[in-house]
Amino acid sequence: MRLEKLADWPSPKATKRIVYLGFINYWFVWPLIMYFGFFSGYAVQNITSQASFSAELIKSCFRGMSSQQLLYYRINQLFDQGYIFSYALIMFGLPLYVARHFEEGSKWRDSGFIVALFGIIVGISDGITNTIIIMMTFDPYGFPDSWAIVHSGFFMITLTGFAIGAVWLILADIKLKKREDFTGRQFLVVIGLLLWVHWHWIPYFLAILSA
C-alpha cells in the first residue's frame, strides 16, 4: 500500500473512532489485567522478565508460583492482549490524525504515515511476545530456552517502536503547535493520549537512562 493512501484511508471520522475504541477498550481490560496480575504473584515486573533474554529468570519466577497462580498469570496475559489491541489502535490512529495536518508531500506527513504503520507492527510484535509467555505457562519449568530469547527479541522490537512513535508524536505536536490551524486543545489531546498510552513505560525508560 502506498503511503499516500493513508491520507484519506481510513476516513478522518473513522480514524477518530479507532482512537476512541482503543481508549474505551483500555478501561475494560486494564482492571482485569491488574486483578489477575496481582493475584498471580509473579515475582518480577513483566517488563524486567520480557527484556531479560533469560529463560532461567523466567523459570525461577514460575517455580515460586502455584498452579492456581500460573492460571491467573495466564489469564493476565490473555487480557493483556486486549490492552495491546487498545494501544495498537491508538498508536495507529493518533499519528494519522497528526500527520494529516501537515502539507501533502512533506516529510512530516510521510513520516507520520510510517509511524502509524509502526503502531500496527508494535501491536503484532507485542502480541507475539504475549503468546510465547502464555505458551511458557503450560510448561513453566521445561519450555525451551530459545523461547525466552525469541520473546525478548520481539519485546525489544515493541520497545523500539514505542520509542519511535512517542518521539515523533511529541516533535510533530510541537511543530503543529506553532500553526494557527492547530489549536491548543488539539495539542493537549495528543500529548495527553500519548502519556496515557505510555505512562507505565516511563519508569522503565528512566531506569535505562540512569543505568
Model pLDDT for residues 164-185, shown as the tens digit of each residue: 988 898 899 889 887 777 777 7
Q: How many domains in the chain?
A: 1
Which domain does 145 fall in, by range? 3-210
Given a contact cutoff of 8 angstroms between Cβ atoms, the answer to whether 115 and 151 are in contact is no
Q: If pLDDT is split at 50, 70 and 90, which confidence band does 116 have?
A: very high
Residue 103: pLDDT over 80? yes
Distance CA 148, CA 141 (A): 12
For 3, 93, 100, 111, 137, the CA distances from 114, given in Å and listed in that order, are: 7, 12, 12, 5, 35
Model pLDDT for residues 70-92, shown as the tens digit of each residue: 999 999 999 999 999 999 999 99
Cβ contacts of 104 within 8 Å, gap of 6 or more:
4, 7
Report pTM. 0.86
Amino acid in position 81: Q
